[in-house]
Each structure stands twice: as structure tokens, then as C-alpha cells.
Amino acid sequence: MSKTILITGSSTGIGRATALYFQKRGWNVAATMRTPSKETELPRLANVICPALDVTSEESIQAAMTATIERFGKIDVLVNNAGYGLTGPFEGTTEEQIKKQFETNVFGLMRVTRLILPHFREQRSGTIINISSMGGRLVFPYYSLYHGTKWAVEGFTESLRFELEPLGIRLKIIEPGAIKTDFYERSRDSSLLSAPREYHELAQIGFKNMDQIGEEGAQPEAVAAMVYKAANDSSLKIRYPIGKGAGALLLLRRFLPDGVFAKIVKQTVFKA
């Protein structure tokens, strides 16, 4: 019997690439998204459904899970991929932007995880794969709120594994580095225009350099392949860095003094 994966945020980028990657390898795929009526390709593929799922709505999450189980019999893997990226000077952010950042990346992920646990407990098996970022263990300028959410996901996942492993449920964290997706265009919100002018000159230099790094990043298919590896890995390994320089940067962050690593970041981000 084919295994089934449910993915949040499947309309673009990593989520979409993951849905296609698993479908091509014979899995049943629930490629969930907020507005499936806009999707034309995925529902036409064999063994793929596109239930509506908004991570801020418990009702829609439950409905998507029910539809998946009714169609495929069970869910074997959950990929928490839906996300929102807010960048820019913190002083320029609004209360609404701050709440949206955490509501999507943290509380939404927790909500989906909590609602799938009864199903996984009942079948005494299941894998939860949380899409974090190398930014869950290191930081760059103007991503303070985004980093805050990813650090929260890292801590939440690592602690939760101790509760769930005795129940047959595995947890995995994918840590993409720079990935060439629409995060740098459609998916990113910015507080720069509303920030005081004292931030603008340096921030514009920083964004130009960081966007260039993003343009040179790995393709989302590389992340999808790593998700597939994690989904089929029964070991106790929890973290899976992927993308250009991600492993090396995480290694440097682990061993270099704070001041030395901060100097490297500043030299990279603020170079003229």
C-alpha cells in the first residue's frame, strides 16, 4: 500500500516541489493550500488531492486531514511547510505584521501538529517534518521576527521528539539555506518603507546583497529531495541542512565565538 504525505503551503516553492517529488515516487499526496481553486496542475496528477487548508483555521485543518484520510486511508507523513516572511527594521513593523509572522510560522505549525497527533497515536506511527531554516540556528540583519519564529520551531520540535518517539512518531527538521523560490518576491513582506529613515541606507545595501545570495541559491527540488530522505529515515537524526553553504555556515556558527561570527555576517551583508 502506498504511503501518504500531507503538505501545507503547496501552491508554490518548496511545498509544490515536494508534492511533485513524492508523487513521482508513487506516494499519495495531499498538497494542501489556502485557495486550491487557483491550482490547475496538481489535482490532475494521479494520487494527488488539493484540500483547502489555512494554518490559522483549526476547522480547515481538520477538514483537510479528514478528506485525506477518507481518500487514502491514512496519513504517514506531515510536512509543515506553510510560512510567511517578514523582513526589515523591527522598529518599522506593525502589531498586525508581528502577529501574522508568529501566527503562521509558529502557532499555525503547532496547530497542524496538534491536530494530527490523535491519528498518528492511533496508528502508532507517523513522521512530522517541520520546514525550518538555517535561520533557526543563526541570524542575519533585518530578519529578527522571521528568525524568532524559526528558532521557536527548532526548540519546539527538538523538545517534542521526547514526548512522541515512545509513541512511534518521529520528528525531523529541514534547514534550508538560500533557496531560489519566490520568497524574495511574492512571499516576503517588508517593514522598510515604514521604518525611520535612519535605517534606510544600510538596509538597502543589506537587502541587495542578501537578495543576490537568494538568486544564487539551490532549487526547491533540492529541498524536496531532502524532505524525501528525512521521510524515509528511521534513524534518530533530527536536523537536515540543505542548500548552498548551509552546512558550512551552521558549522561555523557552532564553533566560532559570537563576535567573530557577527563580523563575518556584517562583512557579507553590508559590503558596498
Range of weakest confidence among 32-46, 114-128, 184-198, 208-222 = 184-198
Q: Which residues of 41-68 are buried (b: 16+ CB within 10 A; e: fewer)?
A: ebeeeeebbbbbbbbeeeebbeebbebb
Quote the cell numbers at residue 6.
Answer: 500531507
Whole-angstrom Cα distance, residue 166 to residue 172? 15
Catalytic residue among 143, 146, 228, 240: 146
Our answer to whether residue 240 is catalytic in this structure is no
What percentage of the chain's residues is helix, strand, coil (to nearest 5)? 55, 15, 30
Q: Could you tell me the domains of the chain?
A: 4-269 (3.40.50.720)
Whole-angstrom Cα distance, residue 3 to residue 124? 15
Confidence of residue 199 (pLDDT cuts 50, 70, 90): very high
pLDDT at 101: 96
pLDDT at 214: 83
Q: Is 130 helix (H, G, I), strand (E, B) or coil?
A: strand
Residue whose cell numbers read 533585518:
142
Our answer to whether residue 146 is catalytic in this structure is yes
Is residue 244 over pLDDT 80? yes
Confidence of residue 194 (pLDDT cuts 50, 70, 90): confident
The reply to whether the predicted model has a pTM over 0.85 is yes
Our answer to whether residue 132 is catalytic in this structure is yes
Catalytic residue among 132, 133, 190, 191: 132
Whole-angstrom Cα distance, residue 234 to residue 197? 51
| Crossing angle of helices 220-231 and 13-24, rounded to 10° | 60
**Burial category of 106 from C-beta neighbours within 10 Å (exposed 0-12, middle 13-18, buried 19 and up):** middle
In terms of residues, how long is the chain? Answer: 272
pLDDT digits (tens, 9 = 90+) for 108-160: 999 999 999 999 999 999 999 999 999 999 999 999 999 999 999 999 999 99
Confidence of residue 193 (pLDDT cuts 50, 70, 90): confident
Is residue 183 over pLDDT 90? no
pLDDT at 184: 47
Mean pLDDT of the chain: 94
Residue percentage of the chain with pLDDT more than 70: 97
User: Within a 10 A sphere around the Cβ of 256, how many other Cβ atoms?
Assistant: 13
User: Within a 10 A sphere around the Cβ of 265, how many other Cβ atoms?
Assistant: 15
DSSP letter at 192 equals T
* Averaged pLDDT, 173-184: 80
Is residue 64 over pLDDT 90? yes
* Averaged pLDDT, 61-69: 98
Q: Is 224 helix (H, G, I), strand (E, B) or coil?
A: helix
